[in-house]
Amino acid sequence: MSDSIRQDNGGAAAADRAGSLAGLRVIDLTQMLAGPFCTQILADHGADVIKVETMAGDGTRVTGPFLSEDQARDYGGYFQSINRNKRSIVIDLKREEGRDVLRRLIDGADIVIENFRAGVMERLGLSYETLRQTNPRLIYGAVRGFGDPRSGVSPYADWPAYDVVSQAMGGMMGITGPDAQTPTKVGPGVGDTVPALMLCVGVLAAVHHMHRTGRGQFVDVAMTDAVLALCERIVYQYSYTGQAPQAQGNRHPLLCPFGLFRARDGHVSIACATDAFWEALAGFIGRPDMARDPAFATNAARVQRQQQVIDAVEAFTSVRTKEEIAAVLGGRVPFGPVYTAAEIFQDEHYARRQMLVEVEQPGACAAVQIVGVPIKLSESPGAVRRRAPLLGEHTGEVLRAAGYDEDGVARLRAAGVVR
């Protein structure tokens, strides 16, 4: 093997370690959860994400929890969890000179992502149409409560939105909860994180298109649209039957048994989506007769007699601990205990999958743990490479890389344009 081949392979290996998206530069104008969650996924997989913050910083910097020993409180767990692998620069976008700095950064970028209300970037003179004039390859991603007018003007286009709003209007709350009279918010902020995931997919699709054609484009995701897409079942149910689906607690409207069941020390999930799984479960719980009885042998029959099926399963689960149930059902039928965070930390699965990752916490001696990278790539894996940034931690290096000399950086700092 020649030396040149060895060098080439070494360079390729180094690029792979940097992640699949190494070489992409993202200007991140987002805050709170939806936007930062999207840009973090890109950063996890190697994109250089430059987080542009106001003088006060992203509002989640002041949101806890904080470690008791952390007196600086530069940021807490919220910010740490969704801003790792990014660099922070502070620019005052209320000033024309600050907007000039941002334009310069965007001209050298592949992607810009923002989650302002519709019209904010236009008022700043930073619309997609303006930015593409000097960077025609630019991919511009936006995530808003009700989308961008470019894709269709929503009657709610000017409404602000958060997770609970998109969960409510996207149909999720209406099918979640113990009954139709008690709509319930899903625990995590899926009204933000699901739109973030969809924006990430859209941006990467646009990157592929740009590599083929040399043209960038606008990528628009409405939080409410994304939640509705996640709840796709309610659309076809209503279209096919004319009946609006309602909350059914921990049951499934089309499958049985499929849901949560009481254990002696909590709850477990059991999901028999096929009659074969039901036959196996019926044997394990000591009711093989129910697998042979026509009243319970098929899924359609069981759905009609859900309560009887649930009672039979809980007669077995309710008198046993989660661990005891796992010893019988684990690996034999679709089953899982309902975990608390403490139980997740104790489960070897998450350690082996590197899903609990230690990072430095500024202001504290002890490391903290945040969730790891769930998308596993064999050749170019993503990784948690650095903690979340301090406010403006990388302003100088980002500006120098953009062509500003030391005097220029110092002048911008002295004028309060950057920090």
pLDDT digits (tens, 9 = 90+) for 93-143: 999 999 999 999 999 999 999 999 999 999 999 999 999 999 999 999 999
190/172 Cα distance (integer angstroms): 10
Does residue 298 have a pLDDT over 90? yes
Q: Could you tell me if 56 and 75 are in contact, meaning their C-beta atoms sit under 8 angstroms apart? A: no
Mapped onto helix, strand or coil, the DSSP state of residue 384 is: coil
* Beta strands 111-114; 86-90: pairing state: unpaired
Which residues lie below 8 Å from residue 76, measured CB to CB, with a gap of 6+?
Answer: 61, 62, 63, 64, 65, 66
Q: Check 110, 192, 220, 225 and give the catalytic one.
A: 192
Q: How far is CA 66 from CA 59, 71, 124, 380, in A?
A: 15, 9, 35, 33
Average pLDDT, rounded, for the chain: 95
Does residue 341 have a pLDDT over 70? yes
Confidence of residue 17 (pLDDT cuts 50, 70, 90): confident
The region, left, alpha or beta by phi > 0 then psi within -120 to 50, assigned to residue 323 is: alpha
321 exposure class (CB count in 10 Å sphere: 0-12, 13-18, 19+): middle
Is 192 a catalytic site residue? yes
Q: Which residues does residue 89 pair with via DSSP β-bridges, in sequence order?
A: 52
Tell me how many degrees the CA angle 164-355-321 measures, rounded to the nearest 5: 80
Does residue 16 have a pLDDT over 80? no
pLDDT for residue 191: 98
Which residues lie below 8 Å from residue 165, measured CB to CB, with a gap of 6+?
Answer: 145, 159, 191, 223, 224
Which residues lie below 8 Å from residue 308, measured CB to CB, with a gap of 6+?
Answer: 296
Confidence of residue 2 (pLDDT cuts 50, 70, 90): very low
